[in-house]
Chains A and B, each alone.
Chain A
């Protein structure tokens, strides 16, 4: 099995451990990820906040490159990048005038059958949880994560078409397959405040504080996420020391892949104490 892969800018920076653990986990699963050649930034929320057309064309260049590489459907780990490319896909599929405009600016012809998928979707629905379970060497027995989806994976549902926008289950199902017991809680889709962290840190502190304290109150020992910005905000703007994992890191623990210490070193809140107490370090 082979997919085209769009790592996104944070792969080289704030979410290094997401990229490292994704590589390791996909090697274990025997699934090849082929990085798109010379990919560019998706534009992120900053671009669609001030220039709509640009926010459609920057992702389109990546779609164009992935399409012509013919290395399979395009897979995106970062929830934010996924959302941006899906917004462009939505415009390409549903607005003919916009499609022509984007195609003209970027210089390509869109193929409507080309698929753009979230990393989580690939694991659940292409690879399958049975195959994931086959690779589990150390079940995450006793671990109670609070699965946090945030905004970009599930909203707007007409664009992302991923999971239930009010009570998504993908991460919870994955955690159960790894042997963990995800907690039920009410804040799994509440916004962390995103890039307001840089301009209104206090607002983000309040939003994150509420999410993290609710995760703890529900019995969560840690939070599991799939977005670089959510992960950074949840880890850096909280005051109670609850570890925040990328879901691929917990897959790596369950698969017992090597060199995991490199991931833990990148965390602002070290998860080593929790893993050690569970016998999972």
Chain B
């Protein structure tokens, strides 16, 4: 992977001086403490696939490069394994930061650079909303329809089905109205 140029391209990119404060408030993490030791990036399992490495994400937040950070693939490639946060000498929980950045990107309407990863999360959450529990079969069909990626992983899916590990019928809970209410309250307040 080519190393990114961290300097903002001021001719093209708007610098948002409130971004650092906003990211700190939303994540609850003190991002000013980062001294670029790179431990987060060194241990990150998905850093090789990110367009901006985790340590650079923090540096760019400090610089106010909101559009570049929220439009990056990195915030979607993070799988929340928490290796970074566990090892950070300044106790910055970068996994939690990544959650906050994704939420901000969705709220502002910045399209996910990794569209399918976002769509899979959406399909999963919608499956919970429908039945209270995840139903793999309908969740996967929903994801396939959203992503229009019909061919990937058909064989593993079939193998699981043949082993009786993908039930045909969902296990619906009684408290679906309660779940619906929780969903409403958790989406309305933002």
A: residues with CB less than 8 A from B are 9, 12-14, 16, 38-41, 43-54, 57-58, 61, 105-106, 151, 155-157, 165-166, 189-191, 193-201, 203, 207, 232, 236, 265-266, 268
A156 & B95 in contact (Cβ 8 Å cutoff): yes
Contacts of A200 in B (CB 8 A): 49, 117
Q: For the complex, what is the distance from the CA of A139 to the CA of B51, rounded to whole Å?
A: 50
Residue B116 is within 8 A (CB to CB) of chain A in the complex? yes
Contacts A14-B136, A57-B186; A155 near B156 (Cβ below 8 A) = no
Tell me if A49 and B99 are in contact (CB < 8 A).
yes
Is B164's CB under 8 angstroms from A45's CB?
Answer: no
Ranked nearest first, the 8 interchain pairs of A and B with the lowest CB-CB distance are A46-B124, A155-B82, A191-B81, A54-B186, A151-B81, A46-B121, A191-B45, A40-B132
CA distance A157 to B124 in the complex (A): 26
Given A54-B186, A207-B45, A266-B164, residue A193 in contact with residue B174 (CB < 8 A):
no
Chain B at the A interface: SS class: helix
Stretch at the interface among B10-18, B30-38, B52-60, B175-183: B175-183
A49 touches B133 (CB 8 A): no
**Which B residues are in CB contact (< 8 Å) with A14?**
136, 160, 165-166
B71 within 8 Å of A (CB atoms): no
Q: Which residue of B lies closest to A194 (CB)?
A: B79
Q: Assess the B100–A201 pair: CB atoms within 8 A.
A: no
Q: Known: A12-B171, A157-B86. Is A105-B79 also a contact (CB below 8 A)?
A: no
CB < 8 Å: which of B81, B136, B182 contacts A105? B182
Within 8 A of A (CB), among B72-101: 77, 79-83, 85-86, 93, 95, 99-100
Contact A41 B186 (CB under 8 A): no
Complex interface: chain B residues within 8 A of A266 (CB): 163-165
Which of chain B's residues have a CB closer than 8 A to the CB of A165? 86
A61 / chain B contacts, CB cutoff of 8 Å: 175, 178-179, 182
Please judge, given known A-B contacts A54-B182, A151-B82, whether A47 and B117 are in contact too, CB under 8 Å: no
B165 touches A16 (CB 8 A): yes
A46-B124, A48-B80, A61-B178 given; A196·B46 CB < 8 A? yes
B141 at the interface (CB under 8 A from A): no
A45 to B156, CA, bound (A): 21
Known contacts A14-B160, A47-B128, A49-B99: does B186 contact A195 (CB below 8 Å)? no
When distances are taken between beta carbons in the complex, the residues of chain A under 8 Å from B125 are 43, 46-47, 50-51, 54
Chain B positions within 8 Å of A, measured between CB atoms, are 45-46, 49, 77, 79-83, 85-86, 93, 95, 99-100, 102-103, 106, 114, 116-118, 120-122, 124-125, 128, 132-134, 136, 140, 143, 152-153, 156, 159-160, 163-167, 171, 173-175, 178-179, 182-183, 185-187, 189-190
Q: Are A50 and B118 in contact (CB under 8 A)?
A: yes
Residues of B within 8 A of A13 (CB): 136, 165-167
B80 near A51 with CB under 8 A, answer no
In the assembled complex, the Cα of A166 lies from the Cα of B82 at a distance in Å of 12
Contact present for B82 and A156 (CB under 8 Å): yes
Chain A, residue nearest B140 (CB): A198
Q: Which residue of B lies closest to A203 (CB)?
A: B49
By a CB distance below 8 angstroms, the chain B residues around A38 are 132, 173-175
Known contacts A39-B173, A191-B45, A207-B45; decide if A199 and B128 are in contact (CB<8 Å): no
Cα distance, A38 to B171, chains bound together (Å): 10
Q: A43-B128, A46-B121 are in contact. Are A105 and B186 (CB under 8 A)?
A: yes
Q: How far is the CA of A195 from the CA of B80 in the complex (A)?
A: 10
Closest residue on chain B to residue A104 by CB atoms = B185
Beyond the given A50-B125, A105-B182, A156-B93, could you list 12 further A-B residue pairs with CB under 8 A, ordered by the A residue number?
A40-B128, A48-B80, A49-B80, A53-B189, A57-B185, A151-B80, A157-B86, A195-B79, A198-B143, A198-B152, A207-B45, A268-B163
Selected A-B contacts with CB under 8 Å, 15 pairs:
A9-B134, A9-B171, A14-B136, A14-B165, A40-B128, A41-B134, A47-B125, A52-B99, A53-B189, A57-B185, A151-B80, A155-B86, A195-B124, A198-B153, A200-B49
